[in-house]
Amino acid sequence: METYTLREAAEWLAFRGADLTAEELIERQDELNLAKHTLQRALSTGKIEITGKQGFMREGFLVENDSDLNYKNNMIRLKDSYGYTGTEYTDIEISVADLHKNFSKPPAEPRGSAPQNSKGSPTYTTPYLEIMHEVIEELGITKENRLLKKELVAPIVAKMKNRVPESKEAAEYMAMFIRPPEAQKGGVKKGRPPAKKTSR
């Protein structure tokens, strides 16, 4: 079975096999960072299967969000639903066929090309709306498959470069509006036990 390392998988996601020079890789670092985030999410949710050496992390090991991906050393740590323990994978191998199956898609329309309405006329849009739609599509966000607001900010900021003024505050608002209204109300997160009340 043909496999990728984390580095190879992220670069395929970002550039779809294009042979880039070192200078071009540096210029397109934002695209690579978005691909790393997409890959991390796919691995932590089980969308892409992980193979490699497995071991259990010690109790209380801090993992940000749902996973901690070490791109350089080809390893990832996934926490359990309560965040107290988890599994560490090293010497990772990702199936090329699995990655291509889950992320292959027809070429996207050029940026700035407006979608057509039912009458065949261009539908009004803005760069901000385009960025939000791109993030939703690339991260596989649905009503059921949500990301936390803080997980969406970095991918949005990465897409702002050379398109709109880069603003973390604007990205936070965009991240909020990507999430469904019921997810913006807060409350106890699924899979986490409610805090224990202390008696006085």
End-to-end CA gap in the chain: 61
Coil, helix or strand at residue 129: helix
In a domain? residue 101: no
Nearest to 80 by CA among 57, 109, 101: 57
89 and 2 assigned to the same domain: yes
Q: What percentage of the chain carries pLDDT values higher than 70?
A: 74
8 and 77 assigned to the same domain: yes
Mean pLDDT of 106-123: 52
Amino acid 120: pLDDT: 57
In a domain? residue 25: yes
User: Is the per-residue pLDDT at 193 higher than 50?
Assistant: no
pLDDT interval class at 65 (50, 70, 90): low
**Distance of alpha carbon 117 from alpha carbon 124, whole angstroms:** 9
| Domain extent for 138 | 122-180
pTM for the model: 0.53
Structure confidence by residue, pLDDT tens digits, 125-183: 888 998 998 888 888 888 777 788 888 898 898 888 888 888 999 999 999 999 888 77
User: Is the per-residue pLDDT at 194 higher than 50?
Assistant: no
> What is the number of structural domains in the chain?
2
Q: Which residues pair with 172 in a beta bridge?
A: none
In a domain? residue 108: no
Amino acid 83: pLDDT: 56
Polymer length of the chain: 200
In a domain? residue 137: yes
